[in-house]
Amino acid sequence: MSAPIYGRVALIGLGLIASSMAHAMRRANLAGEITGHARSAATRETAAEIGLVDRVCDTAAEAADGADLVVLCVPVGAMEAVAREIAPVLKPGATVSDVGSVKRAVIEAVAPHIPEGVHFIPAHPLAGTEHSGPRAGFAELFDNRWCLIVPVENSDAAATARLSALWEGMGAHVDVMDADHHDLVLAVTSHTPHLIAYTMVGVADDLRRVTDSEVIKYSAAGFRDFTRIAASDPTMWRDVFLTNKEATLEILGRFTEELFALQRAIRTGDGDHLHDYFTRTRAIRRGIIEAGQDTAAPDFGRGAASARKEG
Ligand code: NAP
């Protein structure tokens, strides 16, 4: 097995993404030592009990002290406080990264706290499930998925290449993207779809048919898939919408226009419009399967692999 890419990696936040990183780093011997910290004692105890990392620390600063790589794996709204706390202990030459689902807001929150001589290289793995917490992670989460690296001004090329090598070692493909473009792309591919899923499940709940069991009993793929997405962590998704406001509102505006057009086509009986529209969308699905980002298997999100989604 090859030598680790980083001597010591600190994971701040020990939820789905951090725990998957810990498993994936161990699988390929990518880190000499992994330290970790989570806000609550309960999560820290669970992490220690399952041996998730080599050392569970009571504070973020303790975990980050002396680390070669510190990865912020907390909800986007918590990034600034963590960055402020760890700043004084970061060692010169170390890299700070994150896995936040929104990039511009994280850069604005974290960059001002990064000391001279420390590299800041934001990243976002496009992989996730609706499960949270330290027990939710698994080593294969990032296999064959994309990790977008979003370098900031003057990001060091060697430090960026090293972080890319870590993500590739964890099974991901790496691409580099500008923060604003990232936030717009994710608003289309992930954030707005989540909002729509939350809305659809909320509507069914409002109609009080979910608890009446008919909606559950007869839930075909459509509604069932929405419920899976709508089961995602409320804190994480609250923060995504609060921090990727502009791009989400932009895409939501377009979505609403298209929805009105479809609504009109249904009312006026314009079958050609509906058929053309659905033909176009079907081709997009084919493209995703051809790109290896999903399988054509009709398991409607129940299998482990297809339960993955993007944050
Ligand atoms: P998660 O499973 O809910 O875990 C979040 C972790 O952050 C928990 O260990 C939590 O500790 C800790 N935490 C929260 N606030 C904290 C604070 N102020 N200080 C220290 N620790 C704190 O979340 P996740 O799904 O791993 O998401 C983590 C990040 O990855 C988020 O920024 C999210 O946007 C991003 N992301 C998520 C997905 C996805 O699909 N889930 C995909 C890609 C990227 P406690 O348990 O003690 O509360």
Identify the CATH number of the domain in which residue 128 sits. Answer: 3.40.50.720
Q: Is position 1 within any domain? A: no
Q: Which of 118, 145, 177 corresponds to the end of one domain?
A: 177
159 and 198 fall within a common domain: no
Residue 125 in this model has a pLDDT that exceeds 60? yes
13 and 94 fall within a common domain: yes
C-beta contacts of 42-49 below 8 A and 24+ residues apart: 43/14, 43/15, 43/133, 43/134, 44/14, 46/133, 46/134, 46/135, 47/14, 47/19, 47/134
208 and 302 fall within a common domain: yes
159 and 212 fall within a common domain: no
Residues 56-78 have a mean pLDDT of 98
Closest alpha carbon to 20 in 2, 4, 36: 36
Inter-residue contact 165 to 191 (CB < 8 Å):
no
Residue 1 in this model has a pLDDT that exceeds 90? no
Structure tokens at 154: 């003057």
What whole-number distance in Å separates Cα of residue 249 and Cα of residue 173? Answer: 29
118 and 190 fall within a common domain: no
163 and 190 fall within a common domain: no
Residue 304 in this model has a pLDDT that exceeds 70? no
Residue 279 in this model has a pLDDT that exceeds 60? yes
Q: Which of 177, 205, 224 corresponds to the end of one domain?
A: 177
205 and 109 fall within a common domain: no
Q: Which of 111, 143, 177 corresponds to the end of one domain?
A: 177
- What is the per-residue pLDDT for 300? 44
Q: How far is the CA of 258 from the centre of ligand 1 (A)?
A: 33
Q: How far is the CA of 17 from the centre of ligand 1 (A)?
A: 7
DSSP-derived pairing of the beta strands 31-37 and 55-56: parallel
Q: What is the CATH number of the domain that holds 192?
A: 1.10.3660.10
Q: Is position 29 within any domain? A: yes
* Least-confidence region, from 7-16, 30-39, 56-65, 284-293: 284-293
Atom 4 of ligand 1, residue of closest alpha carbon:
15
For residue 298, what are the domain limits? 181-310
Closest alpha carbon to 148 in 117, 106, 109, 196: 106
What whole-number distance in Å separates Cα of residue 239 and Cα of residue 279? Answer: 35
Q: How far is the CA of 236 from the centre of ligand 1 (A)?
A: 7
Percent of the chain at pLDDT above 70? 92
- In the three-class reduction of DSSP (H, G, I as helix; E, B as strand; rest coil), residue 174 is classed as strand
Protein residues with CB under 6 Å of any ligand 1 atom: 12-18, 38-40, 43, 60, 73-76, 78, 81-82, 99-101, 124-125, 128, 132-133, 233, 236, 311
- What is the per-residue pLDDT for 39? 97
The overall average pLDDT reported for the chain is 92
Q: Is position 291 within any domain? A: yes
C-beta contacts of 84-89 below 8 A and 24+ residues apart: 84/113, 85/59, 85/60, 85/61, 86/12, 86/60, 86/61, 87/113, 87/114, 87/115, 88/61, 89/61, 89/64, 89/65
Checking phi first, is residue 66 left (phi over 0); if not, alpha (psi -120 to 50) or beta?
left
Atom of ligand 1 nearest to the CA of 20: 26
Q: Is position 226 within any domain? A: yes
Helices 245-268, 192-206: axis angle to 10 degrees equals 60
State the pTM of this model: 0.92
164 and 16 fall within a common domain: yes
Residues 64-88 have a mean pLDDT of 98
What whole-number distance in Å separates Cα of residue 204 and Cα of residue 249? Answer: 23
Q: Is position 81 within any domain? A: yes
Residues 74-95 have a mean pLDDT of 98
Structure tokens at 29: 């011997």
Q: What is the number of domains present in the chain?
A: 2
pLDDT band at 73 (very low <50, low <70, confident <90, very high): very high
pLDDT band at 224 (very low <50, low <70, confident <90, very high): confident
157 and 203 fall within a common domain: no
167 and 278 fall within a common domain: no
Percent of the chain at pLDDT above 90? 79
Residue environment code for 273-295, b if the CB has 16+ CB neighbours within 10 A, otherwise e: eeeeeeeeeeeeeeeeeeeeeee
25 and 93 fall within a common domain: yes
- What is the per-residue pLDDT for 154? 82
**What is the tens place of the pLDDT at every residue in 153-182?**
888 999 999 999 999 999 999 999 999 999
105 and 228 fall within a common domain: no
Q: Is position 254 within any domain? A: yes
What whole-number distance in Å separates Cα of residue 70 and Cα of residue 19? Answer: 14
Atom of ligand 1 nearest to the CA of 78: 18
The total of other beta-carbon atoms located within 10 Å of residue 27's CB is: 15
Q: Is position 170 within any domain? A: yes
Pinpoint the alpha helices (H) of 213-310. 214-217, 221-229, 234-243, 245-268, 271-290
